Amino acid sequence: MKIASILENQKIEKRIAVTPEIAKKYISLGLEVSLSENYGSHLGIKDHEYKDLGVSIFKDEKEIITNADVIVQLGLLNDDKSSLLKEYQTFIGVLNPYDNKDRISNLVKKKINTFSLELLPRITRAQSMDILSSQANLAGYKAVVESFANFEKAIPMMMTAAGTIPAAKVLIVGAGVAGLQAIATAKRMGAIVFATDVRMASKEQVESLGGKFLTVEGSENLETEGGYAKEASDDFKKKQEDLLSETLKKIDIVICTALIPGKKAPIIIKEDMIKNMKSGSIIYDLAAIQGGNTAHTKVDEVVDRNGVKIMGESNILNKLPTSASNLYAKNVFNFISNLYDKENKKININLDDEIIEKTLIK
């Protein structure tokens, strides 16, 4: 069985789906691996490192795609390359099916087995394949590093003969995987950390990392069965706004991570709240690509509102492509290992397996 991957559009995606470590694992499973020329060169991985393991390197991407049984990518191929896909091939990636309905529907009509990994169920057996968690962990860390780099004051408390510099106060909005990593990173760097989330289960996790959980009076637990946040009622939103308005007056840095799968990101930090923040404060919005959690977030721009800088990138993981690729490639390998019938050396689409049934787009 042949597994293949081609280079992504470098302007929007620097991660790769097959690292040398993982290529070796595929080959040990009995799979043939084909990659495009200079596949990992932008990450310092030379073609010979793959070739030495037994990977085939091709100049012609058309040849790679048409001869593959399984194609693994980060996102969808462009339309020209998608047209090369054939019946019964398997395509695996992070396909954003909510925004790419028509393009994915075309693949399904062509009888291409299309798997989108962000649809993985939140079950123990799927944890090693959970691309959302592995990538969000890195995003939460990097958001803190980026915002601290743009903050023009010291982060930890410093006591000197000339006086004391107070510790920076950080608020994390949304305590999912990215938010929890942001809390841990900010604490390690000496900040005083607060966090808020609509899921009450987050309180214990936030406090275990040394953060202070901001609780809305009469909170309702807004958590889906899959462990994601769901939309809040108008009453809850009003109480949350009042709490945030008061809190933001004393906050130096805000990291926004609140997302609702398949929907536009909720606007949590509104215009009047930003007006009340201290000049020189930073808001880093990890939800920028889905519209943002603030009233003024713009993708890949730094917006200045009354001295408050609002930042948000289309793909923050392009700033950590090596680490992100290592984790993503492992997630995908674990997914394919579950999908691969070693005895018959073929993909086995067993719809009784919850992992396969949930991620296969039908």
How confident is the model over 237-249, as pLDDT tens digits?
788 788 999 999 9
- Give me the pLDDT at residue 231, please: 59
The pLDDT of 118-137, averaged and rounded, is: 94
- Give me the pLDDT at residue 224, please: 56
Tell whether the model's pLDDT for residue 262 goes beyond 70: no
Which of 5, 36, 89, 130 is an active site residue?
130
Alpha carbon 328 to its chain's center: 10
d(CA 52, CA 127): 31
Partners of 159 in the β-ladder: 164
**CATH superfamily assigned to domain 136-318:** NAD(P)-binding Rossmann-like Domain (3.40.50.720)
What are the tokens at 174?
């949304």
Which amino acid makes up residue 349? Answer: I
Q: Does residue 195 contact residue 213 with C-beta atoms inside 8 Å?
A: yes
Which of 82, 103, 122, 245 is an active site residue?
122
d(CA 97, CA 117): 10
- Give me the pLDDT at residue 221, please: 56
Catalytic, 130? Answer yes
Catalytic, 98? Answer no
Each residue of 140-150: pLDDT tens digit? 999 999 999 99
Sign of the torsion formed by the C-alpha atoms of 216, 220, 222 and 225: positive
Select the highest-mean-pLDDT range: 178-182, 200-204, 214-218.
178-182
Sign of the torsion formed by the C-alpha atoms of 325, 77, 291 and 220: negative
Catalytic, 133? Answer yes
Q: For the chain, report the end-to-end CA distance as a whole number of angstroms.
A: 23
- Give me the pLDDT at residue 16, please: 98
- Give me the pLDDT at residue 190, please: 97
Can you list the pairs that 350-356 forms with residues at least 24 positions away whose Cβ atoms lie under 8 Å? 354/121, 354/123, 355/120, 355/121, 355/123, 355/125, 355/126, 355/129, 356/115
Catalytic, 228? Answer yes
- Give me the pLDDT at residue 152, please: 94
The pLDDT of 186-192, averaged and rounded, is: 98
Q: Does residue 311 contact residue 285 with C-beta atoms inside 8 Å?
A: yes
- Give me the pLDDT at residue 230, please: 53
Pick the CATH number of 2-119+321-359 from 3.10.110.10, 3.40.50.720, 3.20.20.105, 1.10.3210.10: 3.40.50.720
d(CA 354, CA 344): 21
Q: Does residue 141 contact residue 209 with C-beta atoms inside 8 Å?
A: no
d(CA 193, CA 195): 7
Catalytic, 353? Answer no
Which of 5, 36, 73, 133 is an active site residue?
133
- Give me the pLDDT at residue 260, please: 78
CATH 3.40.50.720 residue spans of the chain: 2-119+321-359, 136-318
Q: What is the mean pLDDT of the chain?
A: 92
Q: What is the model's pTM?
A: 0.90
Which of 41, 83, 105, 127 is an active site residue?
127
- Residue bearing tokens 């490639």: 329
- Give me the pLDDT at residue 278, please: 95
Q: Does residue 237 contact residue 205 with C-beta atoms inside 8 Å?
A: no
The DSSP H or E segment spanning 160 is strand 158-160
Partners of 237 in the β-ladder: none
Which of 82, 103, 128, 228 is an active site residue?
228
pLDDT interval class at 344 (50, 70, 90): confident
Sign of the torsion formed by the C-alpha atoms of 237, 239, 240 and 242: positive
